[in-house]
Chain A
């Protein structure tokens, strides 16, 4: 149960805010299809991770990298992963800062959000994975309930005819656009960093699949809602989900729930940043074969904050990166290397250890 929430949190927290806008830009009214399609690679990554986890029980990705690829290559790949986790986390923190700055606190410098959010997450990480999982277990039902409430509240604005025509320009743009969410869904790769620390690693695959499916359901619903409400204009919105919330209101008196929604969404972001920070810390610990992970939390947190601020000059630049180079980058990390790993492991004849 906790594992499922951890994984949903990993992917859904940012995807739900940013993805609909990104995909709608290229596919217009078919963005819900891309969300649906992206479930397949998500499932593939879940399968890869759990298969690798079964071959190397009790080990994290960075640990078995070295075992499969051998010393130098394994170290290099581990470093690559460490950097990927670190950078992705920095991007997440930046996304968070951008949204908060845009939506509720326009005059506060972003560095404040980054520092506070990462500090809270570092506190969570220092208390252990279980604590992060518990917080998510407690808050996710709330987030999901709020999401459902939002859907109900905006249902008055929905026009399903806006979905038509389906596949106006053929299947090609849809397939191309689904690369973005591919990268997002692949974030489930962090599971490989904490699979051995779950209470029941054996159920990792089942949980990962459930999480991928639930996330897809969420994203499809979200894409459908934004398209039926905004039509093709979705493409021009930075945060369609957020705009949806702006529309939602209860009666005549509660008309602006967006701040509340953002604030609750921060709970979800805590989970996501927390997990990525955890993955970063674990990757560094295992890469350099340290005995203690704790001393690494503070420096890596600071690095995350710094990177999140210095990486991009502004939001459009970040979006350009996310839809451009990041796709290939994460593709390599999330699918290419794990696939190679699994194949190599099979070829070298490493089989599931008998209990």
Chain B
């Protein structure tokens, strides 16, 4: 916490030096660069009344601010003021620990003088985890607005900040966007401390580092980067910090803001930052030498660098048997290609290359397209458009109405459009397959990419047939080959080829065969496990001979 604050204030002072002027605009209430400077110059007064008057003047209009006057010390003859924001503090901690300690226990403390009382309070009486001193108004306000309680003591020119942060938070739930059949059910929450604790729990090594900063002039969002020292390349960590420190914005409300501000190639349709709301997925990425960026207020944690194959893997691949995972993974690759190419292939083949279709199928294709007045391209566009609208409507509507949408979509549009001969049944099948294939994507944001690229591909197919499709594929491939995510080539380990890393791409090697960490990410400590972990059960009746060999000899 204190490190975070130190880091933040350093960041803040830098910000003032560089950009103080450019941010200034008149009439802003909480104009950081300008106001913070003034507030920092305002020391905490020794007179309680002055302090309270100042706070009232600044924040008094807020109905959620609580200012409470107390009497402390032996005989209760020292006046004090407690300030906190209602709803941002944990009431039980506040009442039972802080106020009780202040009002009841401090009476028994036999100390003389105000500064003596201050020290005793700080060191003995306030029974909460973190207690800090605030020397100026800025530090005090900064703490109070983040949910700590501030305490002025009459006669002391410092204030105390007791960490009683709390208030309503969402409980840890199963992540909605990334479900698994087998695997942990925990998902990140909106609270960054909960999230770091979830990670810390799975990575107990002292090398696991969480470093914090604050981003956003007005939101003051806590953003922390997490990595494993010794695994994550130091250049990478430096680069992440560097890119984060470049962000000067009024607010960060979701990690998506950060994602777009730190990408390598901002115009690319391909995601270059991975995000997940599963602690196990992020922990696994950290073990590969990646860096995670946690943002307060969102369950989505960013992971960099993110190459293409990362978007093709799901955590369950590693929990289920490896044969199955391998097959499923291939299924996913195929469905990725299908969701990108299926409609355009259909258009190209039915429009230009009918000879490729087996004769019997050709007859039924021709028969099904008989009454349809549109060319395949228009037909496909129509259906894709309908499908996208349905999908969007299904997401935005309340859940119970969402079902109605799917009924309307499936029955009315699918069935009726076919019987009205607006589209051919084959096209419905193609579009439905494409949709299903895109749902099979391992992560949502790579599915968005195929969703977008599908349309230019369809246009190319309609104008130039398979040649057009191939030109489109080449452009996409060249683009992907030129992408990098935080220095890592996007198509690694396929191109540039790292044969050793294909064990987690071409198939999912069994755990006992995954001896090394990815080449592109980790340079020093590449060994993941002792080699030769393949289990060798003792032969029946064979004594001790085969009972778990140590190495592959």
Q: Report which A residues bind B (CB closer than 8 A).
A: 1-2, 100, 104-105, 108, 112-113, 116-117, 120, 123-124, 127-128, 130-135, 137-139, 252-257, 259-260, 262-264, 266-267, 270
**Most chain A CB within a 10 A radius of its CB, from B466, B470, B497:** B470
- Asked whether B465 is an interface residue with its Cβ less than 8 Å from the other chain, the reply is yes
Give me the 5 closest cross-chain CB pairs, A-B, nearest first: A134-B495, A134-B481, A127-B482, A253-B358, A137-B495
- Asked whether B494 is an interface residue with its Cβ less than 8 Å from the other chain, the reply is yes
- Asked whether B1 is an interface residue with its Cβ less than 8 Å from the other chain, the reply is no
> In this complex, what residue of A is CB-closest to B465?
A105
20 of the cross-chain contacts (CB-CB < 8 Å) are A1-B497, A2-B496, A104-B465, A108-B464, A120-B475, A127-B478, A127-B482, A132-B478, A134-B481, A134-B489, A134-B495, A137-B495, A137-B496, A138-B491, A253-B358, A259-B356, A260-B356, A260-B466, A263-B467, A267-B470
> In this complex, what residue of B is CB-closest to A96?
B467
B471 neighbours in A (Cβ, 8 Å) = 116-117, 120, 266
Whether A137 pairs with B356 at a CB distance below 8 angstroms is: no
Within 8 A of A (CB), among B445-485: 464-471, 473-475, 477-478, 481-482
Whether A138 pairs with B494 at a CB distance below 8 angstroms is: yes
Whether A139 pairs with B477 at a CB distance below 8 angstroms is: yes
Contact with A along B488-517 (1 / 0, CB 8 A): 010100111100000000000000000000
> In this complex, what residue of A is CB-closest to B477?
A135
Provide the bound-state CA to CA distance between A137 and B478, in Å. Answer: 12
Provide the bound-state CA to CA distance between A307 and B209, in Å. Answer: 60
> In this complex, what residue of B is CB-closest to A255?
B358
- Asked whether B8 is an interface residue with its Cβ less than 8 Å from the other chain, the reply is no
Whole-angstrom distance from the CB of B154 to the nearest CB of chain A? Answer: 69
Summarize A's interface: helix, strand, loop or mixed: helix
Whether B467 pairs with A124 at a CB distance below 8 angstroms is: no
**Which listed residue, A105, A123, A132, A270, touches B467 by the CB 8 Å rule?**
A105
- Asked whether B355 is an interface residue with its Cβ less than 8 Å from the other chain, the reply is yes
Given contacts A116-B464, A253-B361, contact A138 B474 (CB under 8 A): no
Whether A131 pairs with B469 at a CB distance below 8 angstroms is: no
Provide the bound-state CA to CA distance between A113 and B481, in Å. Answer: 23
Summarize B's interface: helix, strand, loop or mixed: helix
Given contacts A128-B482, A135-B478, contact A254 B358 (CB under 8 A): yes
Whether A266 pairs with B464 at a CB distance below 8 angstroms is: no
- Asked whether B352 is an interface residue with its Cβ less than 8 Å from the other chain, the reply is yes
Whether B352 pairs with A105 at a CB distance below 8 angstroms is: yes
- Asked whether B193 is an interface residue with its Cβ less than 8 Å from the other chain, the reply is no
Whole-angstrom distance from the CB of A338 to the nearest CB of chain B? Answer: 30
**Which listed residue, B352, B361, B475, B477, touches A138 by the CB 8 Å rule?**
B477
Given contacts A120-B471, A252-B358, A270-B474, contact A131 B481 (CB under 8 A): yes
Provide the bound-state CA to CA distance between A135 and B482, in Å. Answer: 9
> In this complex, what residue of A is CB-closest to B349?
A259
Provide the bound-state CA to CA distance between A124 and B482, in Å. Answer: 9
**Which listed residue, B361, B470, B482, touches A131 by the CB 8 Å rule?**
B482
Whether B497 pairs with A124 at a CB distance below 8 angstroms is: no
Instruction: Apart from A1-B496, A124-B474, A131-B478, list 15 A-B contacts with CB within 8 A.
Output: A116-B467, A116-B468, A116-B471, A120-B475, A127-B482, A130-B481, A131-B481, A132-B478, A135-B481, A137-B495, A137-B496, A253-B358, A256-B356, A263-B470, A266-B470
**Which listed residue, A1, A124, A252, A255, touches B478 by the CB 8 Å rule?**
A124
A134 neighbours in B (Cβ, 8 Å) = 481, 489, 491, 495-496
Whole-angstrom distance from the CB of A281 to the nearest CB of chain B? Answer: 16
Whole-angstrom distance from the CB of B498 to the nearest CB of chain A? Answer: 10
B523 neighbours in A (Cβ, 8 Å) = none
Whole-angstrom distance from the CB of B281 to the nearest CB of chain A? Answer: 26
B474 neighbours in A (Cβ, 8 Å) = 120, 124, 135, 266-267, 270
- Asked whether B353 is an interface residue with its Cβ less than 8 Å from the other chain, the reply is yes
Provide the bound-state CA to CA distance between A116 and B475, in Å. Answer: 10
B355 neighbours in A (Cβ, 8 Å) = 256, 259
Whole-angstrom distance from the CB of A130 to the nearest CB of chain B? Answer: 8
Within 8 A of A (CB), among B128-162: none
Whole-angstrom distance from the CB of A265 to the nearest CB of chain B? Answer: 9
B482 neighbours in A (Cβ, 8 Å) = 127-128, 131
Whether A137 pairs with B466 at a CB distance below 8 angstroms is: no
B491 neighbours in A (Cβ, 8 Å) = 134, 138
Contact with A along B337-362 (1 / 0, CB 8 A): 00000000000000011011010110
A116 neighbours in B (Cβ, 8 Å) = 464, 467-468, 471
Provide the bound-state CA to CA distance between A97 and B223, in Å. Answer: 55
B496 neighbours in A (Cβ, 8 Å) = 1-2, 134, 137
Whether B478 pairs with A123 at a CB distance below 8 angstroms is: yes
Whether A112 pairs with B464 at a CB distance below 8 angstroms is: yes
Whole-angstrom distance from the CB of B64 to the nearest CB of chain A? Answer: 55
Contact with A along B303-319 (1 / 0, CB 8 A): 00000000000000000
Provide the bound-state CA to CA distance between A105 and B353, in Å. Answer: 9
Whether A104 pairs with B352 at a CB distance below 8 angstroms is: yes
Provide the bound-state CA to CA distance between A2 and B489, in Å. Answer: 14
Provide the bound-state CA to CA distance between A104 and B465, in Å. Answer: 9
B464 neighbours in A (Cβ, 8 Å) = 105, 108, 112, 116
Whether A263 pairs with B469 at a CB distance below 8 angstroms is: yes
**Which listed residue, A113, A131, A137, touches B494 by the CB 8 Å rule?**
A137
**Most chain A CB within a 10 A radius of its CB, from B352, B478, B494, B496:** B478
**Most chain A CB within a 10 A radius of its CB, from B360, B475, B495, B497:** B495
Provide the bound-state CA to CA distance between A298 and B447, in Å. Answer: 34
**Which listed residue, B361, B469, B478, touches A120 by the CB 8 Å rule?**
B478
A270 neighbours in B (Cβ, 8 Å) = 474
Provide the bound-state CA to CA distance between A228 and B491, in Å. Answer: 40
Whole-angstrom distance from the CB of B409 to the nearest CB of chain A? Answer: 32
Whole-angstrom distance from the CB of A327 to the nearest CB of chain B? Answer: 31
A1 neighbours in B (Cβ, 8 Å) = 496-497
Provide the bound-state CA to CA distance between A130 and B478, in Å. Answer: 10
Whether B466 pairs with A104 at a CB distance below 8 angstroms is: yes
A123 neighbours in B (Cβ, 8 Å) = 475, 478
B353 neighbours in A (Cβ, 8 Å) = 104, 259
A139 neighbours in B (Cβ, 8 Å) = 477
A127 neighbours in B (Cβ, 8 Å) = 478, 481-482
